[in-house]
Amino acid sequence: MNEQNVSSPVGAFDAAVRGLLNAAGGYAANSSRRFATGEGAFDAANPTIYVLAQCTPDMSPADYRSCLGDVFGLIPQYLSGRQGGRVLGVRCNFRYEVYPFFTGGPSLRLPAPSSPPPPALPPAPVNVTPTATPPGRSKNKTGIAVAIALPIVAAVLVISTVCLCFFFLRKVCLCFLWRRRRPSREQTPSYSTNAEDIESFDSLLIDISTLRSATDNFAESNRLGEGGFGAVYKGVLPDDQEIAVKRLSQSSVQGIQELKNELVLVAKLQHKNLVRLVGVCLQEHEKLLVYEYMPNRSIGTILFDPEKSKELDWGKRVKIINGIARGLQYLHEDSQLKIIHRDLKVSNVLLDSDYTPKISDFGLARLFGGDRSQEIISRVVGTYGYMAPEYAMRGHYSIKSDVFSFGVLILEILTGMRSSGSFNIEQSVDLLSLVWEHWTTGIIVEIMDPSLRGKAPAEQMLKCVHIGLLCVQDNPVDRPMMSTVTSCSAAALPLSRLH
Protein backbone atom coordinates (compact mmCIF):
# COMPACT_ATOMS: atom_id res chain seq x y z
CA MET A 1 0.00 0.00 0.00
CA ASN A 2 1.35 3.43 -0.92
CA GLU A 3 2.00 5.42 2.24
CA GLN A 4 1.34 8.78 0.60
CA ASN A 5 -1.88 10.21 1.94
CA VAL A 6 -3.95 13.16 0.80
CA SER A 7 -3.03 16.49 2.36
CA SER A 8 -6.70 17.35 2.82
CA PRO A 9 -8.68 16.16 5.86
CA VAL A 10 -9.07 12.43 5.40
CA GLY A 11 -12.72 12.35 6.41
CA ALA A 12 -13.72 15.04 3.92
CA PHE A 13 -11.73 13.43 1.10
CA ASP A 14 -13.13 9.95 1.77
CA ALA A 15 -16.65 11.37 1.87
CA ALA A 16 -16.12 13.13 -1.46
CA VAL A 17 -14.77 9.93 -3.04
CA ARG A 18 -17.66 7.88 -1.69
CA GLY A 19 -20.22 10.43 -2.85
CA LEU A 20 -18.77 10.56 -6.35
CA LEU A 21 -18.55 6.76 -6.54
CA ASN A 22 -22.15 6.44 -5.38
CA ALA A 23 -23.25 8.86 -8.08
CA ALA A 24 -21.26 7.04 -10.76
CA GLY A 25 -22.56 3.70 -9.50
CA GLY A 26 -26.15 4.92 -9.74
CA TYR A 27 -25.54 6.16 -13.27
CA ALA A 28 -23.93 2.87 -14.31
CA ALA A 29 -26.71 0.79 -12.74
CA ASN A 30 -29.23 2.44 -15.07
CA SER A 31 -27.08 2.23 -18.22
CA SER A 32 -27.09 -0.72 -20.60
CA ARG A 33 -23.29 -1.01 -20.38
CA ARG A 34 -23.28 -0.95 -16.56
CA PHE A 35 -20.37 1.46 -16.85
CA ALA A 36 -19.85 5.08 -15.82
CA THR A 37 -17.09 7.60 -15.21
CA GLY A 38 -17.28 10.75 -13.17
CA GLU A 39 -15.34 13.72 -11.93
CA GLY A 40 -15.93 16.00 -9.00
CA ALA A 41 -14.32 19.21 -7.79
CA PHE A 42 -12.73 19.06 -4.34
CA ASP A 43 -10.15 21.53 -3.00
CA ALA A 44 -6.99 23.43 -3.91
CA ALA A 45 -4.65 20.52 -3.13
CA ASN A 46 -6.73 18.04 -5.14
CA PRO A 47 -8.81 20.13 -7.53
CA THR A 48 -10.58 17.16 -9.12
CA ILE A 49 -11.33 13.56 -8.21
CA TYR A 50 -11.91 11.08 -11.04
CA VAL A 51 -13.82 7.80 -10.65
CA LEU A 52 -14.90 4.79 -12.69
CA ALA A 53 -17.53 2.19 -11.74
CA GLN A 54 -18.40 -0.91 -13.74
CA CYS A 55 -19.96 -4.37 -13.52
CA THR A 56 -20.71 -7.19 -15.94
CA PRO A 57 -23.59 -6.20 -18.24
CA ASP A 58 -25.72 -9.22 -17.29
CA MET A 59 -26.32 -7.92 -13.74
CA SER A 60 -29.62 -6.27 -12.85
CA PRO A 61 -29.52 -2.68 -11.50
CA ALA A 62 -30.42 -3.91 -8.01
CA ASP A 63 -27.72 -6.60 -8.02
CA TYR A 64 -25.21 -4.08 -9.33
CA ARG A 65 -25.94 -1.60 -6.54
CA SER A 66 -25.58 -4.41 -4.00
CA CYS A 67 -22.30 -5.58 -5.52
CA LEU A 68 -20.86 -2.06 -5.59
CA GLY A 69 -21.95 -1.53 -2.01
CA ASP A 70 -19.87 -4.53 -1.02
CA VAL A 71 -16.71 -3.36 -2.77
CA PHE A 72 -17.24 0.25 -1.60
CA GLY A 73 -17.17 -1.17 1.91
CA LEU A 74 -13.48 -1.97 1.46
CA ILE A 75 -12.51 1.72 1.21
CA PRO A 76 -12.29 2.47 4.97
CA GLN A 77 -10.12 -0.59 5.62
CA TYR A 78 -7.71 -0.40 2.68
CA LEU A 79 -7.92 2.95 0.89
CA SER A 80 -8.85 5.58 3.46
CA GLY A 81 -6.96 8.79 2.80
CA ARG A 82 -5.18 7.43 -0.28
CA GLN A 83 -4.95 9.62 -3.35
CA GLY A 84 -6.18 6.78 -5.52
CA GLY A 85 -7.09 3.14 -5.46
CA ARG A 86 -8.94 0.33 -7.10
CA VAL A 87 -10.91 -2.75 -6.09
CA LEU A 88 -11.53 -5.47 -8.67
CA GLY A 89 -14.27 -7.91 -7.77
CA VAL A 90 -15.46 -10.86 -9.80
CA ARG A 91 -18.55 -9.05 -11.12
CA CYS A 92 -18.00 -5.38 -10.31
CA ASN A 93 -15.16 -2.95 -9.70
CA PHE A 94 -14.30 0.68 -9.17
CA ARG A 95 -11.32 2.98 -9.37
CA TYR A 96 -10.61 6.54 -8.29
CA GLU A 97 -7.63 8.87 -8.75
CA VAL A 98 -6.74 12.56 -8.41
CA TYR A 99 -5.70 12.63 -12.07
CA PRO A 100 -7.60 11.64 -15.23
CA PHE A 101 -7.12 7.97 -16.09
CA PHE A 102 -10.02 7.23 -18.47
CA THR A 103 -10.46 8.32 -22.06
CA GLY A 104 -13.30 10.55 -23.21
CA GLY A 105 -15.44 12.87 -21.15
CA PRO A 106 -16.97 11.82 -17.83
CA SER A 107 -20.50 10.47 -17.60
CA LEU A 108 -21.26 12.96 -14.83
CA ARG A 109 -19.74 15.90 -12.97
CA LEU A 110 -20.30 16.93 -9.37
CA PRO A 111 -19.56 20.33 -7.81
CA ALA A 112 -17.23 20.76 -4.86
CA PRO A 113 -18.78 19.53 -1.60
CA SER A 114 -19.96 22.13 0.86
CA SER A 115 -18.21 22.67 4.18
CA PRO A 116 -18.49 19.61 6.38
CA PRO A 117 -21.51 19.78 8.66
CA PRO A 118 -21.00 20.06 12.42
CA PRO A 119 -21.02 16.83 14.39
CA ALA A 120 -24.51 15.50 14.85
CA LEU A 121 -26.04 16.17 18.24
CA PRO A 122 -26.89 13.15 20.34
CA PRO A 123 -30.57 12.25 20.09
CA ALA A 124 -32.78 13.81 22.71
CA PRO A 125 -33.78 11.39 25.45
CA VAL A 126 -37.20 9.89 24.99
CA ASN A 127 -39.60 10.84 27.76
CA VAL A 128 -41.03 7.59 29.06
CA THR A 129 -43.01 9.20 31.84
CA PRO A 130 -46.70 8.39 31.36
CA THR A 131 -48.67 11.44 30.39
CA ALA A 132 -52.30 12.01 29.76
CA THR A 133 -53.24 11.60 26.16
CA PRO A 134 -55.49 14.30 24.81
CA PRO A 135 -58.70 13.10 23.23
CA GLY A 136 -58.17 11.94 19.62
CA ARG A 137 -54.35 11.61 19.95
CA SER A 138 -54.06 7.89 20.76
CA LYS A 139 -53.62 6.98 17.09
CA ASN A 140 -50.86 9.58 16.76
CA LYS A 141 -49.03 8.06 19.70
CA THR A 142 -49.11 4.65 18.06
CA GLY A 143 -47.85 6.17 14.81
CA ILE A 144 -44.94 7.83 16.62
CA ALA A 145 -43.95 4.54 18.24
CA VAL A 146 -44.04 2.75 14.91
CA ALA A 147 -42.05 5.56 13.25
CA ILE A 148 -39.34 5.18 15.89
CA ALA A 149 -39.26 1.38 15.86
CA LEU A 150 -39.24 0.78 12.11
CA PRO A 151 -36.02 2.69 11.33
CA ILE A 152 -34.24 0.89 14.17
CA VAL A 153 -35.33 -2.54 12.92
CA ALA A 154 -34.47 -1.60 9.33
CA ALA A 155 -31.02 -0.36 10.35
CA VAL A 156 -30.28 -3.61 12.20
CA LEU A 157 -31.37 -5.66 9.17
CA VAL A 158 -29.29 -3.57 6.76
CA ILE A 159 -26.16 -3.79 8.93
CA SER A 160 -26.57 -7.56 9.31
CA THR A 161 -27.06 -8.02 5.56
CA VAL A 162 -24.01 -5.90 4.69
CA CYS A 163 -21.83 -7.85 7.15
CA LEU A 164 -22.98 -11.19 5.75
CA CYS A 165 -22.43 -10.05 2.16
CA PHE A 166 -18.99 -8.69 3.03
CA PHE A 167 -17.75 -11.93 4.57
CA PHE A 168 -19.34 -13.97 1.77
CA LEU A 169 -17.64 -11.76 -0.80
CA ARG A 170 -14.26 -12.30 0.85
CA LYS A 171 -14.73 -16.06 0.62
CA VAL A 172 -15.92 -16.44 -2.96
CA CYS A 173 -14.35 -13.52 -4.81
CA LEU A 174 -10.78 -13.11 -5.87
CA CYS A 175 -10.33 -9.38 -5.55
CA PHE A 176 -7.25 -7.46 -6.49
CA LEU A 177 -6.55 -4.38 -4.42
CA TRP A 178 -4.03 -2.01 -5.75
CA ARG A 179 -2.74 1.45 -5.34
CA ARG A 180 -0.62 3.10 -7.95
CA ARG A 181 1.18 6.38 -7.60
CA ARG A 182 0.75 8.88 -10.40
CA PRO A 183 3.83 8.43 -12.60
CA SER A 184 6.26 11.30 -12.61
CA ARG A 185 7.06 12.69 -16.02
CA GLU A 186 10.72 12.88 -15.10
CA GLN A 187 10.97 9.21 -14.16
CA THR A 188 11.54 6.28 -16.51
CA PRO A 189 8.37 4.16 -16.45
CA SER A 190 8.73 1.01 -14.41
CA TYR A 191 6.45 -1.98 -14.57
CA SER A 192 5.42 -4.77 -12.26
CA THR A 193 4.24 -8.31 -12.88
CA ASN A 194 1.94 -8.15 -9.88
CA ALA A 195 -1.70 -8.99 -10.57
CA GLU A 196 -2.62 -5.60 -9.12
CA ASP A 197 -1.41 -3.94 -12.31
CA ILE A 198 -4.26 -5.26 -14.44
CA GLU A 199 -5.36 -2.56 -16.89
CA SER A 200 -7.59 -4.40 -19.33
CA PHE A 201 -9.21 -6.80 -16.86
CA ASP A 202 -12.61 -5.07 -16.71
CA SER A 203 -13.77 -5.93 -20.21
CA LEU A 204 -12.48 -9.53 -20.09
CA LEU A 205 -14.80 -11.01 -17.45
CA ILE A 206 -16.77 -14.05 -18.61
CA ASP A 207 -19.38 -15.71 -16.41
CA ILE A 208 -18.68 -19.26 -15.24
CA SER A 209 -22.05 -20.47 -16.54
CA THR A 210 -21.11 -19.31 -20.04
CA LEU A 211 -17.86 -21.30 -19.96
CA ARG A 212 -19.52 -24.40 -18.51
CA SER A 213 -22.02 -24.32 -21.35
CA ALA A 214 -19.30 -23.62 -23.93
CA THR A 215 -17.20 -26.63 -22.85
CA ASP A 216 -20.13 -28.95 -22.03
CA ASN A 217 -19.18 -28.62 -18.37
CA PHE A 218 -15.50 -29.28 -19.13
CA ALA A 219 -16.26 -32.60 -20.76
CA GLU A 220 -13.38 -35.00 -21.29
CA SER A 221 -14.24 -35.10 -25.00
CA ASN A 222 -13.40 -31.38 -25.20
CA ARG A 223 -10.07 -31.74 -23.44
CA LEU A 224 -7.25 -30.50 -25.69
CA GLY A 225 -4.35 -31.34 -23.42
CA GLU A 226 -2.65 -30.82 -20.10
CA GLY A 227 -0.30 -27.97 -19.29
CA GLY A 228 2.03 -27.40 -16.39
CA PHE A 229 -0.73 -25.91 -14.23
CA GLY A 230 -3.91 -27.56 -15.48
CA ALA A 231 -5.99 -28.79 -18.39
CA VAL A 232 -7.04 -26.97 -21.57
CA TYR A 233 -10.52 -27.42 -23.05
CA LYS A 234 -12.11 -26.51 -26.36
CA GLY A 235 -15.35 -24.55 -26.24
CA VAL A 236 -17.81 -22.57 -28.35
CA LEU A 237 -19.28 -19.28 -27.10
CA PRO A 238 -22.91 -18.28 -27.82
CA ASP A 239 -21.72 -16.16 -30.77
CA ASP A 240 -20.13 -19.33 -32.29
CA GLN A 241 -16.59 -18.17 -31.49
CA GLU A 242 -14.31 -21.14 -30.81
CA ILE A 243 -12.19 -20.81 -27.69
CA ALA A 244 -9.56 -22.67 -25.68
CA VAL A 245 -10.09 -22.55 -21.90
CA LYS A 246 -7.08 -23.00 -19.63
CA ARG A 247 -8.35 -24.36 -16.31
CA LEU A 248 -5.96 -23.98 -13.40
CA SER A 249 -5.83 -27.09 -11.25
CA GLN A 250 -7.37 -26.36 -7.85
CA SER A 251 -4.54 -28.28 -6.20
CA SER A 252 -1.91 -26.06 -7.83
CA VAL A 253 -0.52 -23.41 -5.49
CA GLN A 254 2.37 -22.23 -7.64
CA GLY A 255 0.12 -21.96 -10.68
CA ILE A 256 -1.99 -19.16 -9.20
CA GLN A 257 0.86 -16.67 -9.52
CA GLU A 258 1.58 -17.87 -13.06
CA LEU A 259 -2.08 -17.35 -13.98
CA LYS A 260 -2.07 -13.82 -12.56
CA ASN A 261 1.18 -13.10 -14.37
CA GLU A 262 -0.18 -14.35 -17.67
CA LEU A 263 -3.42 -12.39 -17.26
CA VAL A 264 -1.55 -9.15 -16.60
CA LEU A 265 0.82 -9.54 -19.55
CA VAL A 266 -1.35 -11.04 -22.27
CA ALA A 267 -4.12 -8.49 -21.65
CA LYS A 268 -1.62 -5.75 -22.55
CA LEU A 269 -0.12 -7.39 -25.66
CA GLN A 270 -1.47 -7.16 -29.20
CA HIS A 271 0.42 -8.82 -32.04
CA LYS A 272 -0.36 -11.14 -34.91
CA ASN A 273 2.09 -13.74 -33.61
CA LEU A 274 0.96 -13.76 -29.98
CA VAL A 275 -2.05 -15.76 -28.83
CA ARG A 276 -5.04 -13.48 -28.09
CA LEU A 277 -6.69 -13.48 -24.68
CA VAL A 278 -10.49 -13.57 -25.01
CA GLY A 279 -11.49 -13.47 -21.36
CA VAL A 280 -11.03 -14.57 -17.77
CA CYS A 281 -13.24 -16.13 -15.13
CA LEU A 282 -12.56 -16.21 -11.38
CA GLN A 283 -15.78 -17.62 -9.95
CA GLU A 284 -16.81 -20.61 -7.81
CA HIS A 285 -13.18 -21.32 -6.93
CA GLU A 286 -12.40 -21.71 -10.64
CA LYS A 287 -9.51 -19.84 -12.25
CA LEU A 288 -9.92 -19.84 -16.02
CA LEU A 289 -8.15 -18.06 -18.87
CA VAL A 290 -9.91 -18.03 -22.24
CA TYR A 291 -7.97 -17.79 -25.52
CA GLU A 292 -8.73 -17.85 -29.22
CA TYR A 293 -8.83 -21.45 -30.43
CA MET A 294 -5.93 -22.67 -32.58
CA PRO A 295 -7.22 -25.48 -34.86
CA ASN A 296 -3.75 -26.84 -35.66
CA ARG A 297 -2.77 -27.00 -31.98
CA SER A 298 0.94 -26.69 -31.15
CA ILE A 299 3.90 -27.14 -33.48
CA GLY A 300 4.94 -30.24 -31.56
CA THR A 301 1.70 -32.12 -32.24
CA ILE A 302 2.42 -31.93 -35.98
CA LEU A 303 6.21 -31.73 -36.21
CA PHE A 304 6.99 -34.93 -34.32
CA ASP A 305 4.21 -37.04 -35.85
CA PRO A 306 5.57 -39.07 -38.81
CA GLU A 307 2.37 -38.60 -40.83
CA LYS A 308 1.25 -35.12 -39.79
CA SER A 309 4.74 -33.68 -40.27
CA LYS A 310 4.28 -34.12 -44.03
CA GLU A 311 1.76 -31.24 -43.83
CA LEU A 312 4.65 -28.92 -42.94
CA ASP A 313 6.24 -28.28 -46.30
CA TRP A 314 9.18 -25.89 -46.64
CA GLY A 315 7.00 -22.81 -47.14
CA LYS A 316 5.00 -23.48 -43.97
CA ARG A 317 8.13 -24.09 -41.91
CA VAL A 318 9.69 -20.83 -43.07
CA LYS A 319 6.42 -19.04 -42.31
CA ILE A 320 6.42 -20.50 -38.79
CA ILE A 321 10.06 -19.59 -38.13
CA ASN A 322 9.59 -16.02 -39.37
CA GLY A 323 6.37 -15.59 -37.40
CA ILE A 324 7.97 -16.70 -34.14
CA ALA A 325 10.86 -14.32 -34.81
CA ARG A 326 8.49 -11.38 -35.32
CA GLY A 327 6.57 -12.25 -32.17
CA LEU A 328 9.76 -12.33 -30.11
CA GLN A 329 10.97 -9.07 -31.64
CA TYR A 330 7.71 -7.47 -30.53
CA LEU A 331 8.14 -8.78 -26.98
CA HIS A 332 11.81 -7.78 -26.70
CA GLU A 333 12.03 -4.54 -28.63
CA ASP A 334 8.78 -3.17 -30.04
CA SER A 335 6.10 -3.39 -27.33
CA GLN A 336 5.72 -0.83 -24.56
CA LEU A 337 6.46 -3.60 -22.06
CA LYS A 338 9.80 -5.32 -22.64
CA ILE A 339 9.11 -8.99 -21.96
CA ILE A 340 11.26 -12.11 -21.68
CA HIS A 341 9.15 -15.21 -22.27
CA ARG A 342 11.50 -17.67 -20.48
CA ASP A 343 9.66 -20.81 -21.66
CA LEU A 344 9.69 -20.77 -25.45
CA LYS A 345 9.32 -24.30 -26.83
CA VAL A 346 7.35 -26.25 -29.45
CA SER A 347 4.38 -26.86 -27.15
CA ASN A 348 4.08 -23.12 -26.44
CA VAL A 349 3.82 -22.08 -30.09
CA LEU A 350 0.32 -22.64 -31.49
CA LEU A 351 -0.80 -22.69 -35.13
CA ASP A 352 -4.01 -21.23 -36.51
CA SER A 353 -5.87 -22.58 -39.55
CA ASP A 354 -3.36 -20.89 -41.90
CA TYR A 355 -0.34 -22.15 -39.93
CA THR A 356 0.37 -18.67 -38.58
CA PRO A 357 2.35 -19.22 -35.36
CA LYS A 358 1.17 -17.71 -32.07
CA ILE A 359 3.44 -17.61 -29.03
CA SER A 360 1.49 -18.67 -25.93
CA ASP A 361 1.84 -19.47 -22.22
CA PHE A 362 3.22 -16.34 -20.53
CA GLY A 363 3.00 -17.76 -17.01
CA LEU A 364 6.78 -17.62 -16.52
CA ALA A 365 7.37 -14.42 -18.48
CA ARG A 366 9.17 -11.47 -16.91
CA LEU A 367 9.01 -7.76 -17.59
CA PHE A 368 12.37 -6.23 -18.36
CA GLY A 369 12.77 -2.45 -18.27
CA GLY A 370 15.22 0.35 -17.74
CA ASP A 371 18.91 0.02 -18.59
CA ARG A 372 19.35 -3.51 -17.26
CA SER A 373 20.83 -6.00 -19.71
CA GLN A 374 20.62 -9.04 -17.45
CA GLU A 375 18.83 -10.27 -14.34
CA ILE A 376 19.60 -13.03 -11.85
CA ILE A 377 16.93 -15.32 -10.44
CA SER A 378 17.29 -17.76 -7.54
CA ARG A 379 14.79 -20.35 -8.83
CA VAL A 380 15.40 -21.52 -12.38
CA VAL A 381 12.16 -22.39 -14.17
CA GLY A 382 11.46 -23.43 -17.72
CA THR A 383 12.27 -26.47 -19.86
CA TYR A 384 15.75 -27.97 -20.06
CA GLY A 385 16.97 -28.33 -23.60
CA TYR A 386 15.57 -24.90 -24.43
CA MET A 387 17.37 -23.11 -21.61
CA ALA A 388 20.40 -20.97 -22.35
CA PRO A 389 23.47 -22.28 -20.47
CA GLU A 390 23.95 -19.08 -18.43
CA TYR A 391 20.35 -19.35 -17.23
CA ALA A 392 20.35 -23.09 -16.51
CA MET A 393 23.65 -22.98 -14.58
CA ARG A 394 23.73 -19.54 -12.94
CA GLY A 395 20.17 -18.20 -13.12
CA HIS A 396 21.19 -15.31 -15.41
CA TYR A 397 18.45 -14.43 -17.86
CA SER A 398 18.02 -11.74 -20.50
CA ILE A 399 16.38 -11.34 -23.88
CA LYS A 400 19.30 -13.40 -25.19
CA SER A 401 17.91 -16.34 -23.18
CA ASP A 402 14.81 -16.27 -25.41
CA VAL A 403 17.06 -15.99 -28.47
CA PHE A 404 18.74 -19.26 -27.44
CA SER A 405 15.35 -20.98 -27.10
CA PHE A 406 14.37 -19.64 -30.51
CA GLY A 407 17.53 -21.16 -32.00
CA VAL A 408 16.61 -24.55 -30.56
CA LEU A 409 13.14 -24.19 -32.07
CA ILE A 410 14.59 -23.45 -35.52
CA LEU A 411 16.75 -26.57 -35.42
CA GLU A 412 13.81 -28.71 -34.27
CA ILE A 413 11.61 -27.36 -37.08
CA LEU A 414 14.30 -28.03 -39.70
CA THR A 415 15.32 -31.50 -38.53
CA GLY A 416 12.02 -32.79 -37.16
CA MET A 417 13.95 -34.02 -34.10
CA ARG A 418 13.20 -33.31 -30.46
CA SER A 419 15.67 -31.42 -28.33
CA SER A 420 17.04 -33.24 -25.29
CA GLY A 421 14.84 -31.05 -23.10
CA SER A 422 11.62 -32.65 -24.35
CA PHE A 423 9.46 -34.78 -22.09
CA ASN A 424 9.85 -37.88 -24.28
CA ILE A 425 13.48 -38.70 -23.48
CA GLU A 426 13.52 -41.85 -25.64
CA GLN A 427 12.79 -39.78 -28.77
CA SER A 428 15.08 -36.87 -27.94
CA VAL A 429 18.71 -36.28 -28.82
CA ASP A 430 21.47 -33.82 -28.04
CA LEU A 431 20.22 -31.85 -31.00
CA LEU A 432 22.66 -28.94 -30.77
CA SER A 433 25.74 -31.17 -30.78
CA LEU A 434 24.33 -33.26 -33.60
CA VAL A 435 23.56 -30.26 -35.82
CA TRP A 436 26.92 -28.64 -35.08
CA GLU A 437 28.77 -31.86 -35.95
CA HIS A 438 26.98 -32.13 -39.31
CA TRP A 439 27.47 -28.41 -39.99
CA THR A 440 31.23 -28.47 -39.42
CA THR A 441 31.69 -31.59 -41.55
CA GLY A 442 29.63 -30.19 -44.43
CA ILE A 443 26.90 -32.82 -44.36
CA ILE A 444 24.12 -30.77 -42.74
CA VAL A 445 21.62 -31.85 -45.42
CA GLU A 446 21.73 -35.40 -44.05
CA ILE A 447 20.20 -34.31 -40.76
CA MET A 448 17.31 -32.34 -42.25
CA ASP A 449 13.75 -33.69 -41.95
CA PRO A 450 13.40 -36.45 -44.56
CA SER A 451 10.15 -34.89 -45.83
CA LEU A 452 12.14 -31.78 -46.87
CA ARG A 453 14.93 -33.46 -48.79
CA GLY A 454 14.83 -32.46 -52.42
CA LYS A 455 11.84 -30.17 -51.79
CA ALA A 456 13.53 -27.18 -50.13
CA PRO A 457 15.97 -24.70 -51.70
CA ALA A 458 19.40 -25.69 -50.39
CA GLU A 459 20.57 -22.09 -49.97
CA GLN A 460 17.52 -21.12 -47.88
CA MET A 461 17.85 -24.24 -45.77
CA LEU A 462 21.51 -23.56 -45.02
CA LYS A 463 20.68 -19.96 -44.16
CA CYS A 464 18.05 -21.08 -41.63
CA VAL A 465 20.45 -23.57 -40.05
CA HIS A 466 23.08 -20.82 -39.84
CA ILE A 467 20.62 -18.50 -38.05
CA GLY A 468 19.69 -21.28 -35.64
CA LEU A 469 23.33 -21.94 -34.78
CA LEU A 470 24.00 -18.22 -34.30
CA CYS A 471 21.16 -18.11 -31.77
CA VAL A 472 22.42 -21.05 -29.68
CA GLN A 473 25.99 -19.84 -29.16
CA ASP A 474 27.26 -20.26 -25.60
CA ASN A 475 28.13 -16.60 -25.10
CA PRO A 476 24.92 -14.52 -24.98
CA VAL A 477 26.79 -11.50 -26.35
CA ASP A 478 27.41 -13.41 -29.59
CA ARG A 479 23.73 -14.20 -30.12
CA PRO A 480 21.87 -11.79 -32.44
CA MET A 481 18.98 -9.54 -31.46
CA MET A 482 15.62 -10.67 -32.79
CA SER A 483 15.39 -7.59 -35.02
CA THR A 484 18.61 -8.74 -36.68
CA VAL A 485 17.17 -12.22 -37.14
CA THR A 486 13.99 -10.93 -38.80
CA SER A 487 16.04 -8.68 -41.08
CA CYS A 488 18.32 -11.54 -42.09
CA SER A 489 15.36 -13.82 -42.72
CA ALA A 490 13.55 -11.28 -44.89
CA ALA A 491 16.50 -10.16 -47.01
CA ALA A 492 19.85 -11.32 -48.25
CA LEU A 493 21.77 -9.66 -45.43
CA PRO A 494 25.18 -11.04 -44.44
CA LEU A 495 25.18 -13.31 -41.41
CA SER A 496 27.66 -13.14 -38.55
CA ARG A 497 30.38 -15.71 -38.21
CA LEU A 498 29.95 -18.46 -35.66
CA HIS A 499 32.24 -18.23 -32.64
Choose, from 14, 197, 343, 402, the residue flagged as catalytic: 343
The domain spans of the chain are: 10-110+168-178, 203-292, 299-490
- What residues have CB less than 8 Å from 71, skipping those under 6 apart? 87, 89, 92, 93, 94, 169, 175
pLDDT of residue 361: 83
pLDDT of residue 242: 95
For the chain, how big is the Rg over CA atoms in Å?
30
Q: Under a CB-based contact definition with an 8 Å cutoff, are residues 415 and 430 in contact?
A: no
pLDDT of residue 357: 97
Instruction: Profile the chain (499 residues) by mean pLDDT over runs of 10 residues.
Output: 68 87 84 83 83 81 79 81 80 86 80 51 40 42 49 58 47 34 34 40 81 95 81 93 88 64 76 90 86 92 90 94 95 87 91 94 69 52 81 84 96 90 50 91 91 87 93 93 86 52
In a 13 Å sphere around the CA of 75, the CA atoms on its Cβ side amount to: 26
pLDDT of residue 185: 33
Give the chain's end-to-end CA distance (angstroms, integer). Answer: 49
pLDDT of residue 353: 92
- CATH homologous superfamily of 10-110+168-178: Gnk2 domain, C-X8-C-X2-C motif (3.30.430.20)
Cα distance between residue 471 and residue 485, in whole Å: 9
Active-site residue 202, yes or no?
Answer: no
Model's pTM, two decimal places? 0.58
pLDDT of residue 369: 56
CATH topology of domain 203-292: Phosphorylase Kinase; domain 1 (3.30.200)
- What residues have CB less than 8 Å from 132, skipping those under 6 apart? none
Q: Which residues define the annotated binding site for ATP?
A: 246
Question: CA nearest 363: which of 343, 339, 333?
Answer: 343
pLDDT of residue 294: 94
- Which numeric CATH code is attached to 299-490? 1.10.510.10
pLDDT of residue 121: 38
Let me know the angle formed at the C-alpha of 269 by 59 and 352, rounded to the nearest 5 degrees.
90
Cα distance between residue 14 and residue 6, in whole Å: 10
Q: Which residues define the annotated binding site?
A: 246
Cα distance between residue 338 and residue 340, in whole Å: 7
Cβ atoms within 10 A of the Cβ of 177, count? 15
